[in-house]
Amino acid sequence: MVAKKNIVTCIVLSIITCGIYGIFWFISLTDDVRVVSGDTRLSGGKAFLFTIITCGIYGYYWAYIMGKAMMQAKSSNDLPAEDNSLIYLLLQIFGLGIVNYCLIQNDLNMIADKNANA
């Protein structure tokens, strides 16, 4: 089960900590998506490490696969599922990765709400 996170708080903490909380949020998002989608290939620590090793290039792949995994997670939780992979990829390319974090967190919060009410 994933815990809800306040998106505004996560953004503010990312800014205040000069991105350190953003790293934690990235890892946490990836691990939470693994839980709700059942995709065992996803790992927050590995994704962060690969992103550093490849000087950010892996981050583009991460954004794309997160879109696919979120579609699977929403579908398996009986929520309207759309494939946002290309949107996430384009946002990442244009340097708006934090918007991806917000969109993914919003979807995770919806899944957490649905599971809490079930």
The domain tally of the chain equals: 1
CB 10 within 8 A of CB 21: yes
pTM for this one?
Answer: 0.94
> Is 1 domain-assigned?
no
How far from 1 is each of 32, 35, 51, 113, CA to CA, in Å? 8, 7, 26, 11
Per-residue pLDDT of the chain in tens (118 residues, 90 and over written 9): 789 999 999 999 999 999 999 999 999 999 999 999 999 999 999 999 999 999 999 999 999 999 999 999 999 999 999 999 999 999 999 999 999 999 999 999 999 998 888 6
> Is 2 domain-assigned?
no
Which structural domain range is residue 77 located in?
Answer: 7-117
Helix (H) or strand (E) holding 31: helix 20-37
